[in-house]
């Protein structure tokens, strides 16, 4: 399925896949491909960094669910629904997001660029941690990789991504994206067969 170019619909698709992986998780304490993170920490990351980012840049306060420690499935669902409600709100088309590091962008574009893309990449982390299907949309992998390669120095200096992991020259686009963001695309959890 091709991903939409419209931010609200693309979030619905990407967050929907992540939601499937959240619901399919059997061990929240399973290690993830992100060093020192468990499956629970992948969900924690997405539900904790974005509300502050959105509040500071657009004055939008998201509804909060239970803590990820208490109930990661419900924490994710409340968070996901709140982000989708912002994107589906007709007023969002007229709102701006302002940040000293990135300037001013339309709110839906800022959510798409910084948050939805993060959910997309972390879908692989959660999938690998929990032994689920980890395939990502190849076209969106290529789009993200192309954009990030153009600003690699800025990305590396941000501290948000680990050092590049070298992958074979003939690796698919998903493996190249994962290597670029510092993941070993061949990582398997300790319980993987």
Instruction: Look at residue 106 and tell me whether its pLDDT is greater than 70.
Output: yes
Question: Out of 3.30.479.30, 2.40.10.340, 1.20.140.10, 1.20.120.450, which CATH number does the structure's domain 7-135 have?
Answer: 1.20.120.450
> Does the global pTM surpass 0.85?
yes
Amino acid 158: pLDDT: 74
Q: Tell me the per-residue pLDDT of 17-58, one tens digit each, with 9 for 90 and over.
A: 999 999 999 999 999 999 999 999 999 999 999 999 999 999
Which pLDDT band holds residue 192 (cuts at 50, 70, 90)?
low
Q: How far is CA 20 from CA 6, 73, 79, 104, 192, in A?
A: 21, 10, 15, 33, 20
Domain with CATH 1.20.120.450 in the chain: 7-135
* Nearest CA-CA partner of 144 in 124, 130, 166, 159: 124
- How far apart CA 75 and CA 191 sit, in angstroms, is 26
């Amino acid at each position: 399925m091709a991903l939409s170019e419209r931010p609200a619909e693309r979030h619905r698709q990407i967050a929907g896949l992540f939601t499937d992986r959240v619901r399919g998780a059997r061990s929240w304490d399973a290690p993830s491909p992100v060093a020192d993170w468990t499956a629970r920490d992948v969900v924690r990351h997405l539900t904790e960094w974005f509300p502050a980012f959105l509040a500071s840049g657009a004055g939008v306060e998201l509804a909060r669910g239970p803590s990820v420690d208490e109930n990661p499935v419900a924490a994710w669902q409340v968070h996901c629904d709140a982000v989708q409600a912002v994107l589906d709100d007709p007023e969002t088309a007229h709102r701006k997001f302002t940040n000293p590091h990135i300037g001013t962008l339309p709110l839906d574009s800022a959510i798409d660029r910084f948050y939805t893309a993060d959910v997309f990449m972390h879908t692989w982390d959660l999938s690998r941690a929990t032994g689920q299907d980890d395939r990502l949309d190849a076209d969106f992998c290529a789009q993200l990789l192309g954009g990030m390669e153009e600003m690699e120095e800025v990305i590396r200096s941000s501290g948000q991504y680990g050092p590049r992991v070298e992958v074979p020259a003939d690796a698919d686009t998903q493996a190249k994206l994962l290597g670029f963001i510092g993941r070993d695309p061949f990582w398997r959890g300790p319980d993987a067969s």
